[in-house]
Amino acid sequence: MSQTALYHFLTAVPEAAAIWSFLLLLALGLLAALVARPERDPEPEAAPEPADADAVRRDDLVRYAEEVAVAAAGAAQTARRRREQWIAAQDEADRAWTAYDEADSAARRLAGAAALGAPRTPRTPGEYAARERWLHHAAMSAHWRGDLTARQLADVLAHRNGWDPRRHPAEQEIVLARTVRDGRRAGWERAAARERTAWRDAELAAEAARTLAAEAYAATVALRPALPYRSATTSALPVPAAVRNARWRPARVG
């Protein structure tokens, strides 16, 4: 019995050793193949994940809100400057109107006094010389006050365009008063035209400022986080007074 077991052991050991030798050679061959194989191409990097669409949209809104805020501030400054210019033009037109009204009243008074007739004076060379001196002095005084232009003064001194030094000073005073009145009326009309132009510019600037202020406010509201649900009776977000009152009162149209 012991001989049979020894026989099986001696015959099985070489067979197992052959099997293990084969497996060992196979493992060594696979290991050599792996070592000798060239490096693989690097795997392509993973594509970056797309940016969050909400974050991109918010960045755009922030950029837009900043730009429109700067534009609104500039428009408000322009509107204030145009309003100041209109106020100055309005004051100038008011002063021109007052000056014209005074000149018109003076011309009317002199025209009423002319109905009594000019006093009789001797027609002598000395009288005519005195009348000429009076006319020249009155014309130069009116020019210094700004009531006669340099060309009109030159016409008076040269006795052109209806200026006759032989007239009585009462008659010359009426002609001079009417000339001053006409000049002041023309000055008032020019000042009124400048006021209307300044008024239109101020209105356009105020409208632009109001529009940009409302747009800037809307852009700011769009950046706020979503508000919780509110009932229909809840009032909407109030519009700032700067937006509501961006349009100023119109100028007087004279």
User: What is the per-residue pLDDT across 67-86, written as a single tens digit (0 to 9) for each?
Assistant: 888 888 899 999 999 999 99
| Residue among 195, 192, 241, 199 at smallest CA distance from 79 | 199
* 11, 12, 27, 119, 173 from 17: Cα distances, Å: 11, 9, 15, 163, 150
Burial per residue of 211-239, b for 16 or more beta-carbon CB atoms within 10 angstroms, e otherwise: ebbbbbbebeeeeeeeeeeeeeeeeeeee
What distance lies between CA 220 and its chain's CA centroid?
20
pTM score? 0.60
**pLDDT tens-digit readout, 118-146:** 566 667 788 889 888 999 999 999 999 88
Lowest mean pLDDT segment, chosen from 49-63, 67-81, 110-124: 110-124
